[in-house]
Amino acid sequence: MSTFSAPKGTYDLLPPDSAIVLAVREALAAPARRAGYGYVETPGFEHTELFSRGVGESTDIVTKEMYTLTTRGGTHLALRPEGTASVLRAVLQANLHRAGNLPAKLWYSGTYYRYERPQAGRYRHFSQVGAEAVGAEDPALDAELIILAADAFASLGLTGVRLLLNTLGDRECRPAYRAALQDFLRGLDLDADTRARVEINPLRVLDDKRESVRRQLAEAPRLRDHLCQACKAYHEQVRELLTAEGVAFTDDDRLVRGLDYYTRTTFEFVHDGLGSQSAVGGGGRYDGLSELIGGPPLPSVGWALGVDRTVLALRAEGVEPPVPATVEVFAVPLGSEARRVLFGLVTALRRAGVATDLAYGERGVKSAMRSANRSGARFAVVAGERDLAEGVAQLKDLESGEQSPVPLASLVEEVRGRLAPPV
């Protein structure tokens, strides 16, 4: 056993679980790729100020959860706690917003880091798939992204995912609501940290999960009563587009999410089978974020879907996502000459697009065949001295047990033909 173990709140991903995670990641990204979103990749760490200005000084992410470091040259860096600020920084740095083809539609996948109390469904490093549409203000774009996420969860066979929807207004109507909410919150029995938050970003108090706070929020003023006509009309268009496409949602006027940059549309996908950590993804519109990090006005919308949480949701429903076979053919050589010949066949099969493995080491036929069965392969190719003398190898169907000799010269094509789906 190693002297070292993975740091607290982290985990290693190994087969066979890693195959499920890869399948989930692919399923979450597929709808966005089909909608014209191109892949973007950003560094694992950024300047700390990008997140303190973009995500928000008052958020738990910035005040409590970021992993920060100072380089030898005195630069302050942070491991990325979320993806949106990094993607928008990359768009601005590359001047994609000046290319004249807006919105810039991008998707990404990666690992993110937050110093949180480890618990089921919450780790200190976690995997997400995200999508951002940068540079356009259009209810159809908000609805598009929500539908893409809903379709991604549905493609995995999940039926217990629910969509919560809200609007947070904009810079025209939110100040009046902010003032009304502050007046209400100042009259509550709150701890010092929460009272400080009331002055910095009172909407974040609505996101407080403590029951002692939630009870006091029952009579809090509602943002929907303070929305301007433009925000009301925008939100109603989003709702109508979702309804027209059969995407069910629940209006939740307490939904503010944990980041400061959201405006107008905000949404969250939850799964009731995950306990207190029920969110499997979410996002919203962030029209002011570009200006917060030093860019021009650039209305944008996006989401991030949790890969780890989605895997837990699948387990909660007892759903197994389709996972491609790691190995389709397993070669079992009997003797040194057979090993040389089958090694060549294994290489040829791989080059022909067939996932193939070989029984390595000097092992007996029983041990090698056990490995073949454990590999999940559909076929085993077995050859000994007598087979080689006849110019054949034995092709065994590991599902039916049927076995037949196949000429070595045509074995690659024979295997490909048997693996091909019926027309």
Q: What is the pLDDT of residues 181-211, one digit of tens each?
A: 889 999 888 888 888 888 887 887 887 778 8
Q: What is residue 121's predicted lDDT score, i.e. its pLDDT?
A: 63
pLDDT at 130: 98
Q: How confident is the prediction for the chain on average, in pLDDT? A: 91
**d(Cα 33, Cα 231) in Å, to the nearest integer?**
29
Note whether 374 and 323 are within 8 A (CB). Answer: no
Residue 258: predicted pLDDT? 58
The half-sphere exposure of 315 on its side-chain side, counting CA atoms within 13 A, is 12
pLDDT of the residue at 259: 62
Is the pLDDT at 260 greater than 70? The verdict is no
pLDDT at residue 120 in the model: 65
d(CA 416, CA 423): 14
Which of 243-246's residues contact partners 24+ apart within 8 Å by CB, and which partners? 245/143, 245/147
**Is the separation of the CB atoms in 108 and 83 below 8 Å?**
yes
156-184 mean pLDDT: 91
Looking at residue 1, its pLDDT comes to 58
The token pair at 77 is 């860096």
Give the rounded percent of residues in the chain with a pLDDT score beyond 70: 96
CB 222 within 8 A of CB 229: no
- Please tell me the distance from the alpha carbon of residue 168 to that of residue 163, in angstroms, as a whole number: 16
User: Does residue 58 carry a pLDDT above 70?
Assistant: no
Least confident stretch, 170-184, 299-313, 403-417: 170-184
What is the C-alpha separation between 383 and 393, in angstroms, rounded? 5
Q: What is the pLDDT averaged over residues 2-24?
A: 89
Which pLDDT value is given to residue 37?
Answer: 98
Q: Tell me which of 3.40.50.800, 3.40.50.720, 3.40.50.300, 3.40.470.10 is the CATH number of domain 329-417.
A: 3.40.50.800
Burial category of 262 from C-beta neighbours within 10 Å (exposed 0-12, middle 13-18, buried 19 and up):
buried
Write out pLDDT tens, residues 316-372.
Answer: 999 998 888 889 999 999 999 999 999 999 999 999 999 999 999 877 889 999 999
| Topology of the domain covering 17-173+227-317 | BirA Bifunctional Protein; domain 2 (3.30.930)
Output the pLDDT for position 60: 66
Whole-model pTM over 0.85: yes
Q: What is the pLDDT of residue 423?
A: 61
Domain ranges, ordered by start, for the chain: 17-173+227-317, 329-417
In sign, the C-alpha dihedral spanning 394, 397, 398, 403 is negative
Position 241 pLDDT exceeds 70: yes
Phi and psi angles of residue 121, each rounded to the nearest 5 degrees, phi first: 85, 0
pLDDT above 90: residue 123:
no
CB–CB of 380/368 below 8 Å? no
The pLDDT of 250-277, averaged and rounded, is 84
Over residues 271-278, the mean pLDDT reads: 84
Residue 85 pLDDT > 70: yes
Report the pLDDT value the prediction gives residue 171, as an integer from 0 to 100. 85
